[in-house]
Amino acid sequence: MNGSYEMTAEQRVEWEGEVRSLYNGMVRIVMTPTWAKLIDFETTLPSAVEELVQQRAERQQQSGNGVQPDENS
C-alpha cells in the first residue's frame, strides 16, 4: 500500500453508518494538529473502539431489536 486509501461513495455511506451506530450522539470538532501518529487498524483495534463496539452490542441486546452483533465486532 502506498500510504493512501480511498473509499467509493457506497463504502463511505456504509462506513459512516457503522461509525454512527457506535454512539448515542456525535459532534464535529475541528482542530489543527501539531503532530500525528499512524494507527494500523488492519492489525490493531484500539481498546476504546473495542469498548464502543461492546457497548453497542449490549444496547442492541437490551432493546431487543433482533440485530445480532457481527462476530468480528
The residue among 5, 10, 6 whose CA lies nearest residue 38 is: 5
Q: What pLDDT, on a 0 to 100 scale, did the predictor assign at position 58?
A: 92
One digit per residue, pLDDT tens: the chain, 73 residues? 456 678 899 999 999 898 888 888 878 899 998 998 887 777 777 788 888 889 999 999 988 865 555 544 4
Domain boundaries, the chain: 9-63
pTM above 0.75? no
Q: What pLDDT, on a 0 to 100 scale, did the predictor assign at position 73?
A: 44
Written as one letter, the residue type at 19 is V
Given a contact cutoff of 8 angstroms between Cβ atoms, the answer to whether 16 and 26 are in contact is no
Q: How many CA atoms lie within 13 A of 54 on its CB side?
A: 7
Q: What pLDDT, on a 0 to 100 scale, did the predictor assign at position 67?
A: 54
CA dihedral for 72, 44, 60, 10, sign (positive or negative) = negative
